[in-house]
Structure 1
Amino acid sequence: MASEKIERTLAWLDAHGIEYQVHYHPPLFTIEEALAYWKDIDSTHCKNLFMRNHKGNRHYLVSFECHKSLDIHSLEHMLHQGKLSFASPERMDRCLGVCPGSVCAFGLINDIGIEATADPKELFDNGHRVKYFLDSDLRDARKISFHPCDNTASVVVSNEMFMKFLSIWGGEYEWLDIPGQSDR
């Protein structure tokens, strides 16, 4: 049985005409664990990090191909956002509606329409609490997969559907050239 977070995410995707495939599996907390379940899924699988700036008033989601590695100092240099640290579980829940091990792009559905309830100090000029950075290799991926806000499933969307998702979300995103060998 799907969790409430998965059901909510899939209902949102359905309501916005975003086609997907869902694959259920046991909770997966690391990429190494996930690769055993993803081996037969035709998709570029993503690793996701949720960061905050040193003041704690800016939040950044970073998604990159799962076989790549990225240390925090390299990430700070790429993002040009100052000193970064990993966001706390409370921030993950407040900003993306996820818990540790479930950080994903689909958490951005919880960053829509939050201007009235969010702390104004946390909002970017576009009214969103999160800025999204993506591995430029994902731009060319035919299919991309993320958890649906819960690490007991993976959702695969086409590149076209993912771009539609980003457009509906409406926040700021930026492509990054993250070094490393992707395994697509």
Structure 2
Amino acid sequence: MRGEAGLMADLGVLAVPFAAYEHEAVFTVAESDVVNAGIPGAHTKNLFLKDNGGAYWLVTVPSEARVDLKALPTAIGSKRVSFGKADDMDRLLGITPGSVTPLAAINAAPGSITVVLDEGLAAAATVNVHPLRNTGTLGLSGATILDLLRHWGHQPLIASIPVQEPA
């Protein structure tokens, strides 16, 4: 696994512009909201999922989105999904819950997981994601995140992620 050191090396070699922020550990979107107030750009949350066919998915959406998990499989071309287990996350991506990020695909073998980026984030000038740990944030463009995924041998999916209406 290449880890954060490999990620930072790739950002340098590829001359990728980014902003880096250090902060206290955050484990939930609610905890992130306090940190995010001082960081410009779109903020994210990530869902590590497994479908009933055995395929793994990492879905990145805006932090405020309430994903409709019943409608999601149709939107991404999957079978019924459920949340993946922490040991599978560690085995496939080399990260732990709370540190989930599309950038963890640097550690994943091509074809072992499908990374999905919400279409609004894919078009955003600045998307804030973890650098494989929950004590930091990197601000990158959505296009750059997609380019990095492709650089690491993944074929990211851009999708309109279905959300639940506010209650």
Deviation at 1:12, TM superposition (A): 3.4
Q: Percent identity?
A: 28
Q: Is the 8 A contact 2:22 2:135 kept in 1?
A: yes
Unpaired runs of 5+ residues, structure 2, are none
Work out which of the residue numbers 98, 115, 118 in structure 2 matches 1:132: 115
Tell me the distance in 1 between the aligned counterparts of 2:36 and 2:6. Answer: 23
How has the CA–CA distance of structure 1 residues 167 and 55 changed in structure 2, closer, same or farther, with 3 Å as cutoff?
Answer: closer
- The match for 2:42 is 44
- The match for 2:132 is 149
Deviation at 1:139, TM superposition (A): 2.4
Instruction: Give matches, 1:91-106, under 5 Å.
Output: 91-106=88-103
Q: Is 1:89 matched with 2:86?
A: yes
Residue by residue, what CA displacement relative to the aligned partner does 1:129-155 show, whole Å, maximum 9, x if unpaired?
111211111122111110011111111
Work out which of the residue numbers 17, 20, 45 in structure 2 matches 1:19: 17
User: TM-score, normalising length from structure 2?
Assistant: 0.86
Q: Is the 8 A contact 2:44 2:63 kept in 1?
A: yes
Deviation at 1:55, TM superposition (A): 4.1
SS in 1 for 2:31: helix
Deviation at 1:170, TM superposition (A): 2.8
Specify the code of the residue in structure 2 equivalent to 1:43.
G
- The match for 1:161 is 144
- CA-atom RMSD in angstroms: 2.1
Deviation at 1:8, TM superposition (A): 4.3
Unpaired runs of 5+ residues, structure 1, are 115-126
Structure number, greater radius of gyration = 1
When the two structures are aligned, how many residues end up with a matched partner? 163
Tell me the distance in 2 between the aligned counterparts of 1:93 and 1:13. Answer: 23
Specify the code of the residue in structure 1 equivalent to 2:156.
Y
Deviation at 1:107, TM superposition (A): 0.2
Instruction: Give matches, 1:39-78, under 5 Å.
Output: 39-56=37-54, 58-78=55-75
Q: Is the 8 A contact 1:5 1:150 kept in 2?
A: no
